[in-house]
Amino acid sequence: MVERIPYDEFSMFHENAAEYGIPHDAPPVVSRVSVEVAPGRRLSALKWGDASPRLVFLHGGAQNAHTWDTVALALGEPLLCVDLPGHGHSDSAAAFDPTALPLQQNADDIATVIRALAPDAAAVIGMSLGGLTTLALARDHADIVHKMVLVDITPGINRDKAKQITDFVNGPATFPSFEELLERTIQFNPTRTVSSLRRGILHNALQLDDGSWVWRYRRDDAPPLPEMKGAETEQRPDNSALWDAISGYAQPLLFVRGMRTQSVVSDEDEEELRRRAPHARVERIEDAGHSVQGDTPLELAALIRDFAL
């Protein structure tokens, strides 16, 4: 008999609130929504609140929309947190087009979601891969990116800077038990609480019929997940071309950098961003690594509120 671990994606918000001292008198209004971005292919998102979302959040690679839960609770505003293609509950990305601009296909998909679900959003907030996607969105769909927040990412990221992250992401494709998956996650996230990592795994992994666990994000060498269709290629364009998107963005820009060693941003990256966008507001968070929303969600929420709302 396989022991099943129950999962309800809307049942753990009280844990986020308790961990960070956020008032939680009643469960927040959160719904799972989706948009068809191409025939037979849909992107999924979490819609916070009943009103039209004021902010749109895009997570990093190998994450999902729930990475923003504590930030969303702290803000208490109508929000839209999108699962990127091939992540969370979204279908996989379209077949890779080598003629497309860097992350153009991601940007087109996200633009379709924003126009359908958050047409009045005041800002787009992107972390890591979500930040690069935000830059492509500003380049290709400038009319919907009124303000931009980049969380610990610039187009200067490379394999060396991201090695600690890619070592974790490219680890085992399956785990015999939840405990082994949790143990590996703790090893790579020593500054996070076990309770927060446990929540993160439940949101970002799936228990199979034999009791083993796989990540929800798409991996070519992992068992295909039921809610993901198609396949992704290992080919990727050179994202350094997105520096031009920063140079060309004249709207308000906030850059938030984690200062711990887990960050993927170098001093040279920050200097280049300042050179490309002299008008940008730059904030450093000493107690955060790459996952600023996981390490210091209250500080990040306060910066976003002050900048975008």
Stated pTM of the model: 0.94
DSSP per residue over the chain, as a string? -PPPPP--TTS-HHHHHHHHT---SS---EEEEEEEEETTEEEEEEEESSSPPSEEEE--TT--GGGGHHHHHHH-S-EEEEPPTTSTTSPPPPPP-TTSPTTHHHHHHHHHHHHHH-TT-SEEEEETHHHHHHHHHHHH-GGG-SSEEEES--TT--TTTTHHHHHHHTS-SEESSHHHHHHHHHHH-TTS-HHHHHHHHHHHEEE-TTS-EEESS--TTSPPPTT--S---S----GGGGHHHHHT--S-EEEEEE-STT----HHHHHHHHHH-TT-EEEEETT--S-HHHH-HHHHHHHHHHHH-
Q: Is residue 234's pLDDT more than 80?
A: no
Report, as an integer, the average pLDDT of 184-199. Answer: 92
Instruction: Give catalytic residues, as residue numbers.
Output: 128, 152, 290
Mean pLDDT calculated for residue range 273-279: 98
The full set of domains in the chain, from first to last, is: 13-158+231-308 (3.40.50.1820)
pLDDT, average across residues 44-60: 98
Report the percentage of the chain scoring pLDDT > 70: 94
pLDDT digits (tens, 9 = 90+) for 128-138: 999 999 999 99
